[in-house]
Structure 1
Amino acid sequence: MLARIYRPAKTAMQSGKAKSRSWRLEFEPASARFVDPLMGWTGSTDMNGQVKLNFDTKEEAIEYAERHGIAFRLHEPQEPPLILKAYADNFATNRKVSWTH
């Protein structure tokens, strides 16, 4: 039973970073999914796939996994570089790109 600890990315519906600062512990699938022949739905016999635990910090998630004897894999997030822009940059005299309109 292997778990992964990661920080989820923000959804496409968000412009800010709300709900993306917490850390999540999820179990990796232990068995493959199957298709129900009658309805065509996907199913699984793995109940740990439904467990998603949220933690405030990475250390809390690691401590929980170690305390309960859960093997885990840690995925560190890749932070994009912060590019500061100002509205006044549109009118700068030393613009490197010409106006498009």
Structure 2
Amino acid sequence: MQTARIYQRPKNAMQSGKARTDHWQLEFEPGEPKKPDALTGWAGSGDTRDQVKLGFPTCEAAVAYAEQQGLRYTVIPTPTKTLKLQSYADNFR
């Protein structure tokens, strides 16, 4: 039986806004380890589910899809966001 991870997309380090951070993703666990290709040296495997990432508007929709497909799943909770409020003058203290 295939297992999957359900998590909320984190904000990219290069991203200042919060676009698409409210979406949830279902990602399959790797079925086999990656190994380097003898010719190119690139890492790869025969597991094509590693390339599949499904997006959902809510966590409940992702869980419902996983249960409908008979997948074992793990919901990774969203970390709490903490703001570090400081002013420009704090740089010179």
Taking structure 2 as the reference length, what is the TM-score of the superposition?
0.87
Query: CA shift at 1:81, angstroms?
Result: 2.6
- Equivalent position of 2:70 in the other structure: 69
| Deviation, structure 1 residue 41 | 1.2
1-side partners of 2:56 and 2:13: how far apart?
22
1:5 aligns with 2:6: yes
The residue that corresponds to 2:80 in the other structure is 79
Alignment length, in residue pairs?
92
What is the TM-score when the length of structure 1 is the normalising length?
0.80
Task: Give the C-alpha shift of residue 12 in structure 1.
Answer: 1.2
Q: Runs of 5+ in structure 2 lacking a partner?
A: none
For 1:45, the equivalent position in structure 2 comes to 46
Which of 1 and 2 has greater Rg? 1
Q: Give deviations 1:19-63, integer Å, cap 9, x for gaps.
A: 111000000111000111111111111111011000000000000
User: Do structure 1's residue 36 and structure 2's residue 34 form an aligned pair?
Assistant: no
Deviates more, 1:42-51 or 1:73-82: 73-82
User: Offset at 1:15?
Assistant: 0.6
CA distance in 1, matches of 2:46, 2:16: 37
Give the 3-state SS of the residue equivalent to 2:67 in structure 1.
helix
Q: Which residue of 1 aligns with 2:92?
A: 100
Unaligned stretches of 5+ residues in structure 1: 91-96
- Percent sequence identity is 42
Give the RMSD, CA atoms, in angstroms: 2.1
1:16 counterpart residue number: 17
Runs of 4+ in 1 over 3 A off after TM superposition: 82-85
